[in-house]
Structure 1
């Protein structure tokens, strides 16, 4: 009986593990920072200003006992567009706008988590109120549009590449990413990371942070 019960537990754990791996977003290709995309003076390009009220970054963090999710907003940004296509751009991310969505806003644990994420343990928003993303390239790879850019977070800058879809209709541009992850340890966000600390047991927090970006902009 005990053997059968152990077998059932093992199979259940295996199913959960396979499902989790299947559902996990792919990590963005991460390399050293690159030279930003530039728009040559010979190209007739237009500026599209980001509508910060209609743009958002969704985030999700993971630990052995579950996950948390929420949003971050953009402070400002713009795209450079030539012949209807994005050829450059940059965005300022308001790190003070971190919101926790999976815990009721009036629950004290919401403020506790939001405060911890904002603290020096994680993103230290008092010292680093902004992060930034600067486009370095946009090209089609195997039928998928891939956006590359330098992500500056705290005092570290890396280039990341992830899949996006772009629509540009009558001067209204929308860029939406697939869900992807970044490895926070590559930006020296160390709290609870097994990349920096040993003997954490099951108290660790996963290095991967899942992101999904939606940016709306209009011709200026």
Structure 2
């Protein structure tokens, strides 16, 4: 049954397949730029697998968007997800992001904050009416040691606004008290790779200092249900 789910989710190929990225570094808090590539095939797993459901309340997604003279910070909620294990080792998974939950955390004035959040949900940015979710499908996991936890390189497919790209990034996996915690970031992705082009000076040449940086900084903490 788990194998059938893997095949089905590979068609969806979620968040930027972790390929050919600048995956080294980041452990000191520096931002690692993740390059988008072609979607990847989900690695075949011959062993029996188990699915650990993601705790969508305890898990955290934080983002930063930059522009000349300032930046905005915010959060994004998870809708659902699971991590797939074989022989007590992370081998795959799928994370679904609720794009309608995108929220700003740095603007104190409620009217201005709602205006920004509404704009982010509009067709200019993530078009959440048409694309209510984004998702990441993990296609392969390589651990740096034999402990089946700790630092690892994750490959996967990221889908935003119906566009699927392959990405590669580093993660740190911890197991404690029957709960798995996976840390990702800070990393950055180029939003224009997924068709989020508003205010991009790499797309529009008449913006002068009115542009918004192409790269979005992301930090993720995933926790499974105990």
Say if 2:140 is the partner of 1:137: yes
Matches of 2:42 and 2:203 in 1, distance apart?
A: 30
- What does 1:1-220 align with in structure 2 at a 5 Å threshold? 25-40=31-46, 43-104=47-108, 106-140=109-143, 144-218=151-225
> Residues 144, 80 of structure 1: CA spacing in aligned structure 2 closer, same or farther, 3 A cutoff?
closer
Structure 1 residue ranges (4+ consecutive) displaced by more than 6 angstroms after TM superposition: none
User: 1:39-58 deviations in whole A, cap 9, x for unaligned?
Assistant: 32xx1322100000001211
User: So what's the TM-score if we normalise by structure 1?
Assistant: 0.83
Distance 1:140 1:62 in 2: 33
Count of matched residue pairs: 195
CA distance in 2, matches of 1:119, 1:196: 19
Going from structure 1 to structure 2, the CA distance change for 1:24 and 1:115 (only over 3 Å counts) comes to farther
Deviations 1:56-93 (A, max 9, x none): 21110010111001100110001111122111111111
2: CA distance, partners of 1:64 / 1:144? 35
SS at match of 2:137: strand
Q: Name the SS of the counterpart of 1:185 in structure 2.
A: helix
The Cα shift of 1:26 comes to 1.8
Higher percent of residues as strand: 1
Q: Contact 1:37/1:135 (CA < 8 Å) preserved in 2?
A: no
| Residue 3 (structure 1) aligns with | none
**Structure whose alpha-carbon radius of gyration is higher:** 1
How far residue 141 of structure 1 moved from its aligned partner, in angstroms, is 5.8
Match of 1:18 in 2: none
CA contact (8 A) 2:119 2:125 kept: yes
Deviations 1:136-192 (A, max 9, x none): 111146994211210000021101111110012242111011200000011110100
> Could you tell me the TM-score, scaled by structure 2's length?
0.81
- Bigger fraction of residues in helix: 1
Alpha-carbon offset, residue 31 of structure 1: 1.2
Q: Report the secondary structure of 2:204's partner residue.
A: coil
Pair 1:174–1:144, CA change in 2 (3 A): closer
The structure showing larger relative contact order (alpha-carbon pairs under 8 Å, at least 6 residues apart) is 2
| Whole-angstrom distance in 2 between the partners of 1:59 and 1:174 | 19
CA contact (8 A) 1:39 1:88 kept: no
d(CA) in 2 for partners of 1:139 and 1:118?
35
CA distance in 2, matches of 1:198, 1:23: 33
- Kept after mapping to 2: 8 A contact 1:73/1:94: yes
